Structure 1
Amino acid sequence: MIQTRHWLLAATIAALLVGGPALSAHAKTTTQHGNALAAYNVKRYKTVKNRNLFVKRYAFQQSYTNIFQTSPTQISSTKGKAVTFKSNVFLPVTYQRSADWGNPQSEVLTPNGNTLYELITTSSQSTTGRIVRYNLGALRHFGITSTHMDALRRATYDHSVGKLTATDKAILKNVTVGPLFNTGHGQSLARNPKNGQLWFIGKPGAVKSNVQQVSTKTLKPSTKVNFTLKNTVPMGSNLTFDKHGKAYFFTYSNGGWAPKGAVKIYQGTISTKSVHFHLVMQGLRYAPGTKPQSMAYNAKRNRLYFVSDSSLASIPVSKLGKLKASQVEGTNLNGHREFEGLQFTSNGSGYLLVNKGAELMQTTHATF
């Protein structure tokens, strides 16, 4: 017993020295049998011919010359629906070592805009990462959205070099750093507004996949559901929920019975016991961009958003399966940033997570 305690103590100390607890596991696991995807007739599938605002892959650009920037930047629409996003919060890129928080993959923003959950992987190709929770409501008092936009980045940088000021310490009291765990690619962190649960897809792009619930207190997985959509249909890499608790993800068609490059939309339910989806039998003929980066839901407008780099598309939930081309909105944007996530507050204000450097950008329009 004494040896076991000594081993546990040593493991805990070692984990803390490398930046947090060891990879968390031991989530309560359920394995679902049978297909999680409802059967469908491919001959009945159709697409709506939306405006083609496809953006090709490009080299990602950084927005700063000094990481401790204090002036906001912005990106604006160049085609389609008008929108401008302006820097709201410059998120940390360094916490324990240089650029260790430089790979944000997804975000969850609570409806009141006061709490942000950011999923960060340890490197661009890593499937290991953590969730960081920011109390934005409290952090705003330090001027991180106005007069001292560099304050949050400076506090985490000072933490990395062991030179925390009193202000740094006060700021970091409102930043909760979760433990490392196996995140998959990490693009899919989403909040179900019906019950407040956080979920992500543990194995995106896999036939045998899983979804995992994350505790909002411990910031690590608490429940895992293993499932197979269908042996010929891999799980997507993005996830969102509408106000009724219905879950959604989307993929791009590789051709065959659906036009190549079309957006396939899936709707279903996710719980701690089971996963069920069905294919919406109408998709979008033209995808917004090369890579599906994220999916979002705006309760104010009751619309789903498909996020690609510098290109966004959206549709009304009430018209799923019976869309007209005029009901599909699309936007191309400048800046050549990497788009990592999109969230909306209850008043319809949009918050875009972008990289190089990591920041949260807010719409200047009332709704988008």
Structure 2
Amino acid sequence: MLGRPNQFVVGTLYDHNNQNRNSGQSYDGSPDPASVSLRDVDRGYGPDVKAQRTAKIITKNTAFYLENVLDLNSELKLIGGLRYDAIDVERKSYTGEDKYHKSYYPVTGRFGVVYSVLPEVNLYASYSRAAQPVSQLVSLNASRDEFSLQKGEQIELGAKASLLEDSLDVTVALYDIEKRDILTSDVINGVRISSQIGAQVSQGLEVAASARLADDWRVNANVAWNWKAEFDEFNENLGTDIISRSGNTPTNVPEWTAALYINKTLGDWQINGGVRYVGERNANNNNGIELESYTTLDASVAYRWQRYTVTLRGRNLSDEVYASWASTGGLTQRLADPRSAELSVHYSFAD
């Protein structure tokens, strides 16, 4: 193109998902009550029931995409991409609800430049757009028919370098992300409704390094600082009131995360170990409940013999007790797995 080296890729994909599932509706023979108390439980014997399908959901996604890399000169490259999706969702109820059908046709893409300051150091800048439904495709129903796709934009600036004769790789990235059209509550003419007027933003810095040391040692480290993560415009429906959460931090978003991993090769043996840190996070949208930070330690040892690889993994070796996730209300928190071990055998059919 334009007499300059150019790489062009065009492609397509098609995905078809057909599910028969229970989507939470009751049916004849459902246990009553559906739950029991945590105290003084009388286990008894439940009714003779089995899982029954309540909905048939078919999702189809046809996509066309293209990518292009143009070398303007030996130091500067232009990179662009474009993608068109045709998304189709069909939901048929076996419990008397109306049939539901919805289609989306998003166009997304990205554009960027890469500048080689030195043969070993590259600077880059990129802008990208994305789109996604307000919930998982298989969960869409008539109550969300009026909502469009949520839109997202990201600007990223960074540098990548291979130093010390390619024994040290370093990446630094600054990012600014905005997500719009988030579902939020509002009151119009005395009626509480859900509207797509919400937004949230995220800004931060990521640094990653990988070093190859003497005697087959390798060290990988990364750290991320999310200095701004907040709702730009968001109202929460509390049942009795609607409260603005603008300026608050979304749930499960830490300000700091970091990790350090070490790998050692000893002939047919591979030894790995790593420590991971996740900072404090908010457990609800009003930021009144905070999850504590945690640090976990994992390790593994693997032995390769002919086409077999036997691996012993240990996870959360310090037996840290922490919540890995919390609901937006903060009342439901998912505790992480305790200390555990896993033994696996892998066989390769090719040398």
**Class of the TM-score when normalised by the shorter of the 2 chains:** under 0.3
The two structures have a TM-score, normalised by structure 2, of: 0.27
The two structures have a TM-score, normalised by structure 1, of: 0.26
* Structure label with greater radius of gyration: 2
Structure with the higher strand share, 1 or 2:
2
Instruction: Compare relative contact order (CA 8 Å, sep 6+) and give the higher one, 1 or 2.
Output: 1
Structure with the higher helix share, 1 or 2:
1
